[in-house]
Structure 1
Amino acid sequence: MQVLQYIVDLGATVMIPIVIFIVGLIFGNGIGKSLKSGISVGIGFTGISLVISLLTDNLGKAAEAMAKNFHLGLNVVDVGWPGTSPLAWASNLGLVAIVVSIIVNAIMLLTKMTKVVNVDIWNIWHMAFTGAIVQIATGSFTWGIVAIVVHAIIAFKLGDIFKPVTDNFFELEGISIPHGSSATMGIFAKPIDDLIEAIPGLRDINISSKTIEKKFGVFGQPSIIGAVLGLIIGLLAGFSVGKSLQLAIQMAAVMVLMPVVVKYIMEGLIPISESAKKIMDKHFKNSEFTIGMDPALLLGDADVIAAGLLFVPITLLIAMLMPGNRILPFGDLATIGFFIAIATGVHKGNIFRTLISGSVIMTITLWISNQTWQLQDKLGRSVGLLAEGKKVGSLDQGGNPITYLLTEGITKHITIGFIVILVLYVAAFVYTYVSYKKNKLY
């Protein structure tokens, strides 16, 4: 456990390359090839970390300024995934979650319940967080383990369900995204997409980075789209023209740099994926196993980034209009793309449709965050990472339906809100699963 804790403390940019190196050796790639894969993935995640820092340091300030300008007056601060993941790892279920999720993944692979070979050890913090919140709510370590198991099963199945999306739209063949809010909330996109498709006129609206570039030429290129959105956000934040122009260039840089750094990750993963496929096909014919990876890979798409920037003011607007809301969106605003990435893929890059499903996703996320923040607050104090007097919550995982439903269900706290979220989530999950399987896309 001490070795695991040491590796976890190194962070995702070191942890994932180490795991990739070990997986490469297991799949017979040799030391040199495995080392190259691990370092390439490390370079990619370091690049993503730098770009996300560019977002959080600059877009985060703009989001905070917008919140003040809109006079939201909300007193529970969303600390985002950077502030939430340490709580999960610091809990007594943090490292246990790694072992439990690996066992669950192995059992599911052996019983053919999933085709996802998860190597994204860092994002197991999502499952650890669910377990820790359930433990806080029930006082039971055992129920915490049960919650981790259930979350892991659902996550790996989500990786399977959205394989057509990661294969065909994102062109990440052999890669699956079983973690995070992207997959968890993506199930709402498919029924919404089919509903829009059934409405004449509405179904014909198609706005994407490609259609914009085709119509407006050079003015529709991703860098210019990013600059325009950055400028608008800066002006909405009340920044001076100069500071708004700086934000415009920074967001243009994000649009251009994110796809570049993602390519390094893919260069490292392709040899691993190919070797894994050969070995798996040898023992399990027609298995089509996929490598489970971080949803950050999806942020390399221009439509995801553009939609993510649009949802900065939209999420603040939802927070302002939602009755009884106490959560101030902040920490996760800069990386809102994680929440709507899979949805963007389901809509085949149609930003118009993403705005509709994304609004549903962010409304549900924000509402759930209001129900869980007190437990997260209690978790923060129990692990000694939250000072007295501060009230914190988070959209990422704090607004996760799986965490909410397990916590409320296990504690038998059955409310109208619980029933509504349960019905919506189960119905959307089943609909999405059946839709992709029925069309032989899954």
Structure 2
Amino acid sequence: MFTQIMQYILDLGPAVMLPLVIILFSLALRMKIGEAFKAGIHIGIGFVGIGLVVGLMLDSIGPAAQAMAERFDINLHVIDVGWPGAAPMTWASQIALVAIPVAIAVNIVMLVLKLTRVVNVDIWNIWHMTFTGAFVHIATGSYWLGILGVVVHAAVAYKLGDWFYKDTRDYFELEGIAVPHGTSAYCGPIAVFVDAVIEKIPGIRKISFNAENMQKRFGAFGEPTTIGFFMGLILGLLAGYGLKDILQLAIKTAAIMLLMPRVIKPIMDGLTPISKQARKHLQAKFGGQEFLIGLDPALLLGQTSVISTSLLFIPITILIAIILPGNQILPFGDLATIGFFIAMGVAVHQGNLFRILISGTLIMAMTLWIATQAVGLNTQLAVNAGAIAADGSLVGSMDQGGSPITYILVQLLTFKHATGLAVIGIFYLFCLFLTWKRARYFAIQQQCLNQTEVNTNN
């Protein structure tokens, strides 16, 4: 009975599940029923809007990317199913139903022990943590080690939500909100590493160009919609489209640039009163401790620099896939939502396109390499879910299949790729260390600022 109820709830999808969770969460915070309902509906509307725009991206950019690959005779035989394929396969795994209460329990324990400030209400995106658990279960044959995989990924995700809060607050202007999920969270530390390296290189560290500079320099031709239009033209030309199809694609990419920030607005309208109430209620209840509401990384896609860089990285990612030694993955399913991979990096680099190009290239190369190593596990996950037949067909996924967190944990428990474990493990752990150090520095800065304000008022 419990299994059927949980599966029914999961099948509702994020556009229904998240508003329900938000309404219940709001009522628990003693918001008025009408206000809680209104907030939940606004958030649901926003996610419907995101779904429509992402659908437009998949329907327009996806075929263009596929045509581009065929036109240049790219011989990569494993198709990236992307998160739209990986999420349903994950929810069909044996770990899935127990993963939700496990991830929630990890969150509660960390909050009680003051190991995180993130109060995660985005139940749908627990599929990222579930994916790690499912991979570990398949790789080791141990159900309990699979649960451990969920625990480890959840703990790391909540900490990443803490560590990148200054970025979500200051750059994305999401006050009181953290993004502890998905590729945006685990790719952020790689951008921190790149930023730290560039800062130590004289001359190079002064190179900076971003969307705002382009808009000032090129006027109307630097507007986001115009950039989107020209990106569509370039993608259409690379795909070998005729003039009619090129122009249609260009208009659609321009529309994506315009619509994505606007469909995010209803979500923010719904979240603002909840975030204020949550912080007020929880801080009063727990002695003034600051809390952050953990939400979907889709919120980050409304930023103009994220959208424009996402479009730019479609051909770049395909090029990386072609030249990367040993890669077997043909990017496809995640190309339209590549913004998830580079969104936090955009904030870390403060929109500096020069740095984003460097960190984004490193992120996509590492993602493709890890996803290639995980093809066997990914295929077995798909077979277990009934998504494909056990006939020798292979599938991969960049989102989560290319996650360093999942890869490191699987390799620690199996030691099948010792060299890969050493290289990726040491590099990524160092990136996490730099991220922790950076967050600690910002926290000390904030404490000094608060103390200065107190002294001034006194």
Asked whether the two chains share a fold, i.e. TM above 0.5, the reply is yes
Q: CA deviation at 1:252?
A: 0.8
1:159-191 Cα deviation digits (max 9, x unpaired): 000001000000001110000011101101112
Q: CA deviation at 1:285?
A: 3.2
1:351 is aligned to 353
**For 1:143 and 1:380, how far apart are their aligned partners in 2?**
20
The answer to whether residue 311 in structure 2 is matched with residue 309 in structure 1 is: yes
**For 1:425 and 1:411, how far apart are their aligned partners in 2?**
19
Letter aligned with residue 322 of structure 2 = M
**For 1:352 and 1:4, how far apart are their aligned partners in 2?**
45
The equivalent position to 2:412 in structure 1, one of 380, 399, 409, is 409
Q: CA deviation at 1:200?
A: 2.9
Q: CA deviation at 1:390?
A: 2.6
1:295 is aligned to 297
1:7-29 Cα deviation digits (max 9, x unpaired): 11011111111111111111111
The answer to whether residue 129 in structure 2 is matched with residue 113 in structure 1 is: no
**For 2:416 and 2:75, how far apart are their aligned partners in 1?**
29
**For 2:97 and 2:122, how far apart are their aligned partners in 1?**
14
SS in structure 2 of the partner of residue 188 of structure 1: helix
1:276-298 Cα deviation digits (max 9, x unpaired): 11111112234221110000000
1:182 is aligned to 184
Q: Which runs of 5+ in 1 are unaligned?
A: none
1:185-222 Cα deviation digits (max 9, x unpaired): 11011121122223233222222111111111111111
1:251 is aligned to 253
Q: CA deviation at 1:242?
A: 1.8
The equivalent position to 1:27 in structure 2, one of 6, 26, 29, is 29
The equivalent position to 1:198 in structure 2, one of 184, 200, 207, is 200
Letter aligned with residue 102 of structure 2 = V
The answer to whether residue 442 in structure 2 is matched with residue 436 in structure 1 is: no
- Equivalent pairs, count: 442
Q: CA deviation at 1:414?
A: 4.8
**For 1:60 and 1:287, how far apart are their aligned partners in 2?**
45
Stretch deviating more after TM superposition (200-209 or 167-176): 200-209
1:58-108 Cα deviation digits (max 9, x unpaired): 000111011112211111100000000011100111121110000000000
**For 1:351 and 1:418, how far apart are their aligned partners in 2?**
31
The equivalent position to 1:158 in structure 2, one of 147, 157, 160, is 160
2:330 is aligned to 328
Structure 1's consecutive aligned runs of 4 or more residues displaced over 6 angstroms after TM superposition are none
Letter aligned with residue 181 of structure 1 = T
Kindly indicate whether the alpha-carbon contact (under 8 Å) linking 2:78 and 2:328 is maintained by their aligned counterparts in 1.
yes
1:84-134 Cα deviation digits (max 9, x unpaired): 001110011112111000000000001000000001111100111110111
2:171 is aligned to 169
**For 2:192 and 2:291, how far apart are their aligned partners in 1?**
23
In the TM superposition, 1:365-404 aligns within 5 A as: 365-387=367-389, 388-404=391-407
Q: Give the TM-score taking structure 2 as reference length.
A: 0.95
Letter aligned with residue 260 of structure 2 = M
Stretch deviating more after TM superposition (217-226 or 189-198): 189-198
Letter aligned with residue 354 of structure 1 = I
Letter aligned with residue 198 of structure 2 = I
**For 1:360 and 1:413, how far apart are their aligned partners in 2?**
24
**For 1:389 and 1:190, how far apart are their aligned partners in 2?**
40
**For 2:125 and 2:178, how far apart are their aligned partners in 1?**
13
Letter aligned with residue 220 of structure 1 = G
Letter aligned with residue 32 of structure 1 = G
The equivalent position to 1:15 in structure 2, one of 14, 17, 24, is 17
Letter aligned with residue 301 of structure 1 = Q
SS in structure 2 of the partner of residue 413 of structure 1: coil
**For 1:178 and 1:380, how far apart are their aligned partners in 2?**
26
SS in structure 2 of the partner of residue 229 of structure 1: helix
Identity within the alignment, % = 53
Q: Give the TM-score taking structure 1 as reference length.
A: 0.98
Stretch deviating more after TM superposition (67-76 or 334-343): 67-76
**For 2:59 and 2:261, how far apart are their aligned partners in 1?**
20
Kindly indicate whether the alpha-carbon contact (under 8 Å) linking 2:326 and 2:369 is maintained by their aligned counterparts in 1.
no
**For 1:407 and 1:389, how far apart are their aligned partners in 2?**
23
SS in structure 1 of the partner of residue 336 of structure 2: helix
Q: Which runs of 5+ in 2 are unaligned?
A: 447-458
**For 1:246 and 1:24, how far apart are their aligned partners in 2?**
43
SS in structure 2 of the partner of residue 385 of structure 1: coil
Letter aligned with residue 185 of structure 2 = A
